[in-house]
Chains A and B, each alone.
Chain A
């Protein structure tokens, strides 16, 4: 397996969506390719960081304004 072929499967591999046979081929490639190991580890870490850190906080007061807008709408007819 070449690095390009490995890379084409990387998304499914990270999402655990590859077949058992293919997993073995991907792992064989990783055993001999430090670059692909680093690419895989740092890509996985990228996803983890974005998942675990709040990039945009909910603005102060937005929830209250939202509740008020819904109640106002409700009064008109719900």
Chain B
């Protein structure tokens, strides 16, 4: 197993782990920090920290979730540095009731993402998710994009399972509402 080999000092095994997870760690860091330079620094710091602390990795959780926890903490620290004097927390703005009831009830086109080119679609998805409160965004990214379980997401963020479920549902509904503008069926047949 790669992790065991890396723990025994096999640097090539660790490099394999980096290749396996660098995309995911970068995505998480970028979603939290919303800044490419910071996200790149987070990736580097998170992997170096993981390498340093590999001996402390217990092996009773998955290596990936352990690494994600490091990356989330590094990302939040980076945000705090950038916004000096302002408290940064993943609880920011979560009290809003916006988007908890669906308003746009139009059907979407079949395969709506086919209406846009790759880069146009990526831009729509970026813009849409950037509009979510940070506390919803991070839960959606960990749970729905990166595939952590509800329990792993709760543990990583220091939240209760019901809090994760509630934020996840509201994140999903808010994203749905906003994407509906782009993907809904129009009666006149235009985009």
**Which residue of chain A has its CB nearest to the CB of B24?**
A58
What is the predominant secondary structure among interface residues of chain B facing chain A? Answer: helix
**A3, chain B: closest CB distance, angstroms:** 9
Query: A70 contacts the other chain (Cβ, under 8 Å)?
Result: yes
**B162, chain A: closest CB distance, angstroms:** 11
**Which residue of chain B has its CB nearest to the CB of A72?**
B48
Q: Inside 8 A of A70's CB, which chain B residues have their CB? A: 11, 14-15, 18, 47-48, 51
* A65/B44 in contact, CB under 8 A: yes
Query: A67 contacts the other chain (Cβ, under 8 Å)?
Result: yes
Query: A31 contacts the other chain (Cβ, under 8 Å)?
Result: no
Q: Inside 8 A of A51's CB, which chain B residues have their CB? A: 144-145
Partner of A63, one of B11, B19, B30: B19
* A56/B44 in contact, CB under 8 A: no
Chain B residues with a Cβ under 8 A of chain A: 9, 11, 14-15, 18-19, 22-23, 26-27, 30-31, 36, 39-40, 43-44, 47-48, 51-52, 101-102, 105-108, 112-113, 118, 121-122, 125-126, 129, 140, 144-145, 150, 165, 168-169, 172-173, 175-176, 179-180, 183
